[in-house]
Structure 1
Amino acid sequence: MSRVLRDDIVLGRRLPGSRLVERDLAAELNVSRLPVREAIRRLVVEGIVVSRPRTWAIVRDFTAQDVLDLTVLRIAIENAAFSLAAVRHDEEGLARVKAALAQEEDAAASHDVVQTNLAAGRFHRTVIQLAGNETFDETMGVFETRFRRAFGRNADLHSHLAAHRAIVEALIDRDAELVCELNRAHLQTACDEAVALWGAPVASAS
């Protein structure tokens, strides 16, 4: 149930400000109100739903400042993990990254914006896993839904794909400094695009 509502929100099928009424959702999804209530509670914790006591929950509306703040956090988490991944990866891990990149390339070739953005997210998570540090995985898990919501509507699929290809090449060369430099630039571009979608910026993420 959480996955269904999460995907609906992240993929824009439920718009910011939309009401999430337990009774209505239970009827729409043909379930009891209990799993709906639990799903809403979970998505409040994940940061994409706002609870309003004694009334209904609503889909959170991100601001440009939210995007900028998340970008600062994402760069810090990912670059710390990517730096380790560049040093620690083995052939099996590199093969998984290449497979994630291939999935993104296939989706982009089909001009499927939703699947390409989903594949791009999997690419980042796969690189993080190469760091071999469970704390990074756990930390990313806390914020992943917010990252997906904030950055998951980017439409310039091929520029992001090119950035991912360059990151893979730097990983192959075990060039941790270049991996971080490329990823920082990539995430800043994603931030600029997301700010344009969510509203005018009020500060710089740099």
Structure 2
Amino acid sequence: MTDTLGDAHQSLADLVYVRLRERIIEGEYPAGQRLVERELADGMGVSRIPVREAMQRLEREGFLTVQARRGAVVADFGPEEAEHFFAVRESLEALAASLAARHATPAGVRGLERILARTRKAAEAGRLRETVSLNADFHREIVELSGNPLLRDMMAPLDGRLRRLFRLTSDDETSLPMCTEHQRLLDAIKARDPETAAALARHHVAGTRAFARQALSAERPDA
């Protein structure tokens, strides 16, 4: 069935990019799956040019890799890739939290509170997919509240990988403890305590890193 796209406010390549990225993040296209430009174009009812542009962007962001004789395939996200990701994310998240504690407005803090309230409600109801999405929204909002456009630009390419990692490793048992850690971080930002906010962010990322390492390794015991 043709999956047509259309939006006057976005380029066709942007729309194709978003659609393909979401399918990778949500696991509809699992790691190792080959993506064929012509088939994708036919399925979305577009020409091959925007699909090619979208796939090139996804390759730059680490969602796709090009293999000899296979072409573009969905990139793996195993323990090694996660370690590289967390090594970068830990420092940037701590910086974002510290800056947010300095610069967040009352309206910005209320926005974080709303996201966290929705996250907790989704977690309590066992809506894992929604919880995962809101967790990523919480981290993205802290970056916005940092008031640093360069940091925002540096973190933007990591956002999709963060969501993909959450989808691969999160479960119902971790959802509410995650909310508790987010609440502590929110309290430090609200109290305008940059040192505590940075320390809590580092601790939070370190805990997520350890859990992700365990979850990803369990999926490939021979690795």
Moved more, 175-184 or 118-127: 175-184
Is contact 1:50–1:59 with CA below 8 Å preserved after alignment? yes
Is contact 1:86–1:174 with CA below 8 Å preserved after alignment? yes
Rounded Cα–Cα distance in structure 1 between residues aligned with 2:63 and 2:95? 25
Superposed counterparts of 1:14-163, under 5 Å: 14-52=29-67, 55-153=70-168, 154-155=170-171, 156-163=174-181
Say what the alpha-carbon RMSD is for the aligned residues: 1.7
Superposed counterparts of 1:186-205, under 5 Å: 186-199=204-217
State yes or no: 1:167 paired with 2:185: yes
Relative to the length of structure 2, the TM-score reads 0.83
Rounded Cα–Cα distance in structure 1 between residues aligned with 2:180 and 2:213? 21
Rounded Cα–Cα distance in structure 2 between residues aligned with 1:29 and 1:45? 22
Secondary structure (helix, strand or coil) at the match of 2:73 reads: strand
1:184: Cα distance to partner? 1.5
1:21: Cα distance to partner? 0.7
1:55: Cα distance to partner? 4.4
Unaligned residue ranges in structure 1 (runs of 5+): 201-206
Change (3 A) 1:12 1:196: farther
Is contact 1:151–1:191 with CA below 8 Å preserved after alignment? no
Unaligned residue ranges in structure 2 (runs of 5+): 1-15, 219-223
1:113: Cα distance to partner? 1.3
Secondary structure (helix, strand or coil) at the match of 1:20 reads: coil
Aligned partner of 1:185 among 190, 203, 206? 203
Q: Deviations over 1:161-191 (max 9, x none)?
A: 1111111111122222221222212111211
Relative to the length of structure 1, the TM-score reads 0.89
Is contact 1:6–1:43 with CA below 8 Å preserved after alignment? yes
Size of the alignment, in residue pairs? 200
Moved more, 124-133 or 49-58: 49-58
1:23: Cα distance to partner? 1.7
Rounded Cα–Cα distance in structure 1 between residues aligned with 2:127 and 2:105? 31
Q: Deviations over 1:114-158 (max 9, x none)?
A: 111111111011111111110110000132222322334311211
Q: Deviations over 1:79-113 (max 9, x none)?
A: 11110111221211111111221221232233121
Higher relative contact order (CA 8 A, sep 6+): 1
Moved more, 127-136 or 53-62: 53-62
Is contact 2:83–2:209 with CA below 8 Å preserved after alignment? yes
Rounded Cα–Cα distance in structure 1 between residues aligned with 2:190 and 2:159? 26
Letter in 2 for 1:173: A
Moved more, 94-103 or 14-23: 94-103
